[in-house]
Structure 1
């Protein structure tokens, strides 16, 4: 990874990390918020879900903007707005004030997915995107861990308000650094003439005789097409639908358990809050290892002649995940459960970088923003129900012994289904990549294929 690419990966990882920290802070201060405003688990879950829901609603218009206007400045402005939303959260005088501040956070969060996806596509060659996405998602997880630990410690030592406000200067600095980034040219980075550093995908498609889906090949600039046309097109790309559904089911579970991770650890293992926070960080470290390994592994396998690896690896991860996590959740011994949870989160996290890279592989570059917006919107709508649903189930089972265990096991059910759905992408992925490459050639004569 070059210095320039590393800088991009770190900044974008920090951007998602800020969002993750803001969400984790709610989990780290759940007891404080419940006591301050007289609310329960379901209301706290809504503080997380409202960000996801509004992010879904506003992702589509942001995707349109991402495909047509300067993206680095838009991303910098959205991060600056995050800082404002965090100020409002930290100064909330009532639950409804807090909910309104979180709603603003959801609106500006919508910008991150489409803008970062489009920028990564234009900054980074296709055969390196898995590794870069691994760093970006690793940054998100590290930010989430900081939200759990730093915010939890600040809440315990000072107040839950300062636990939110410490993120404000971080957001302001990040916005300034992103504003200084150069805007990349549309259509993906120029390919090197060095044979050893050339994108292997076109050659592998040709060797296997993979043909594009002719009815899906574009012959005019998709940036000039309407939003409704773009939505219809990206939902006709079969691999894209597979990725959306599979990742939605995975994030449904992840969003739910992330929102109550510390509370769950405290009640399941009878631990004080400070120890529970540290255990969550240990488990989160497994997720960081997973995203870094998943991105690096799939890029390496791609270059060694395995073109379907960006779909195959996530499918396998989702299929083997549920048994590992079920064994961990069923245990009341933290010494046994924590290593299993760390392995499980590593496996879950490893699926994300190749999936994210695959989404760019199967789309024309001038559709990256809107395609990511559609995926974000549909995935987020499904994901929104996770924290509220888990909160409601946990509240309903609060008188049942091991009620939290049963609630978490119930929310684990979609994971193997997600793996089976992901397997369907193995049949369509290469054809969709070939279609995207053919569309680039048809709409940009003389430009090297992605």
Structure 2
């Protein structure tokens, strides 16, 4: 195979979409509210346990139900967005769907809360695949990393900042209900804002080959069929990215970080929870750094740049996690520094892997690809690591679990990504050829 030019493999010429940053702010707000409400039940579970008289196992049931239902409804919402429109699905599923959060606040039994929270999570599963797909249509290849970094970073930073505010609800009688009512109502307001102000740019709007074609021509290939969805599994680099997601042991930090510091190094829960703020700030800075690095790497080495940045992030995380979890420093401040560094190296990932998925899939299949990547494979990884850490932590201790999951497995993940270099460049080139062929066909040119 002859070496393709950089412009063929990954075009760097930017195709600006009018009002793209304003549209991105609306999408980011939607993802933020969805993320906040999804984490509210976990953070206020002690109040729920006292109010409804349930055991600690009820928290596992709530969180697992949200992940499991999302694995089924995420792909459904992608199909619905193809059948109707992405804007209408987002307005309903991630905006007006907040009414189920309000209803959950009125739950009188755990069974009612479980059902209503599961329904709520079923709608919120639309957010990540559709919003990430839209970012790919709002921003071209040379700025997608920065756009993804801004969204994920802002969500992480604000979530970290409002974490203590959610904790203040503990001082209010039945405070968890007020939390669900308030965020649910705000989500409904945001859904109305999306309906009034959001403008879907259309699939392929930021692609160099398609940007100047009319929307009807660009949408001619947008019909989602079973064969098209199955064709995603024939994209070698996407399959490798999906497997890499299953090897992402760093997912444990956010869920078990606090209990790790309590059980292994003897900190109180209140003191251990302090590390969540530097972790969130680090994650925010990491997404911004990752976005800049991704866009720079794309321009510098269109064939291999993104893969190299993603691979480096896994190795650096493993190094930081080794020193940040396997030694007792006796100071929560020092642990806070390491958690900030772990957050930063983890935050690099979405700013790199999301643009990679966008680059290897045609515009009409990106939503389905992200449903696979986020709604299904990431959910499987999250559930597997969380359940596994719980059982193994009792058997061999969380310190050993963290050594294998955060250090050894992440080194394996980094080494595994070496397999991505050649197929990624080939898959990106294939998408670019297909888009150029569409353009030639639309303009009546011979290919």
Shared fold (TM-score, shorter chain, > 0.5): yes
State the partner residue of 1:325: 321
Shift of residue 272, structure 1, vs aligned partner: 5.5
Q: Does 1:421 align with 2:420?
A: no
Provide the residue aligned with 1:24 in structure 2: 39
**Residues 94, 49 of structure 1: alpha-carbon distance in 2 compared, 3 angstrom cutoff:** same
Cα deviation 1:310-368 (Å, max 9, x = unaligned)? 22111111122123113222344312211011101110110221110111111111212
Residue of structure 2 aligned with 1:186, choices 185, 203, 209: 203
Q: For the structure 1 residues 104 and 185, does the alpha-carbon distance in structure 2 shift closer, same or farther, using more than 3 Å as the test?
A: same
What is the DSSP-based 3-state SS (H/G/I as helix, E as strand, rest coil) of the residue aligned with 2:234?
Answer: coil
Q: Are the counterparts in 2 of residues 245 and 379 from structure 1 also a CA contact under 8 Å?
A: no
Residue 384 of structure 2: aligned partner: 385
Aligned equivalent of 2:289: 293
Q: Secondary structure at the match of 1:91?
A: coil
C-alpha distance in structure 2 between counterparts of 1:30 and 1:109, whole Å:
20
Q: In the alignment, which of 117, 127, 145 is matched to residue 142 of structure 2? A: 127
CA contact (8 A) 1:37 1:95 kept: yes
Picking from 54, 73, 94, the partner of 2:109 is 94
Q: Distance in 2 between matches of 1:388 and 1:410?
A: 15
Deviation, structure 1 residue 92 = 2.7
Is residue 27–residue 260 contact of structure 1 (8 Å, CA) maintained in 2? no
Q: CA 1:262–1:2 in structure 2 vs 1: closer, same or farther (change >3 Å)?
A: farther
The answer to whether the 8 Å contact 2:317/2:346 transfers is yes
Deviation at 1:81, TM superposition (A): 4.3
Task: Find out whether 1:405 has 2:383 as its counterpart.
Answer: no
Distance (Å, rounded) in 2 between the aligned partners of 1:257 and 1:32: 24
The residue number in structure 2 matching 1:164 is 180
Whether contact under 8 Å (1:287, 1:342) holds in the other structure is yes
How many correspondences in the alignment? 414
Q: In structure 2, what is the Cα distance between the partners aligned to 1:312 and 1:4? A: 32
Distance in 2, Cα, partners of 1:48 & 1:356? 24
Are residues 1:15 and 2:30 paired? yes
Q: Distance in 1 between matches of 2:115 and 2:30?
A: 22
CA distance 1:244–1:156, shift in 2 (3 Å): farther
Equivalence for 1:247: 245
Aligned to 2:434: 439
Structure 1 residue 309, shift from structure 2 partner: 1.7
Structure-1 separation of matches of 2:298 and 2:169: 44
Distance 1:47 1:388, change over 3 A: farther
Offset of 1:237 from its aligned partner?
A: 0.4
After TM superposition, give the deviation of residue 424 of structure 1 in Å: 1.4
SS at match of 2:34: helix
Q: More displaced, 16-25 or 233-242? A: 16-25
Q: 1:347 to 1:64 in 2, by over 3 A?
A: same
Does 1:63 find its partner at 2:59? no
Deviation of 1:20 after TM superposition, in Å, equals 2.3
Q: CA deviation at 1:269?
A: 5.7
Distance (Å, rounded) in 2 between the aligned partners of 1:52 and 1:126? 30
Is 161-170 or 365-374 further displaced after alignment? 161-170
Q: 1:339 to 1:429 in 2, by over 3 A?
A: same
Evaluate the alpha carbon distance shift between residue 153 and residue 325 of structure 1 in structure 2; reply closer, same or farther with a 3 A threshold.
farther
Q: Supply the RMSD in Å over aligned alpha carbons.
A: 3.0
Structure 1 residue 154 displacement after superposition: 1.8
- State the distance in 1 between where 2:167 and 2:378 align: 29
Q: CA deviation at 1:113?
A: 2.3
- Structure 1 residue 19 displacement after superposition: 2.7
Q: Deviations over 1:122-170 (max 9, x none)?
A: 2111211010000111133134324532212222455233233332233
TM-score of the pair, normalised by structure 1: 0.82
Question: Which deviates the most, 105-114 or 302-311?
Answer: 302-311
TM-score by length of 2: 0.83
Contact 1:135 1:291 in 2 (8 A): yes
Structure 2: unaligned runs, 5 residues or longer:
1-15, 210-218
- Checking the alignment, whether the CA contact within 8 Å between 1:117 and 1:372 is kept in structure 2 is yes
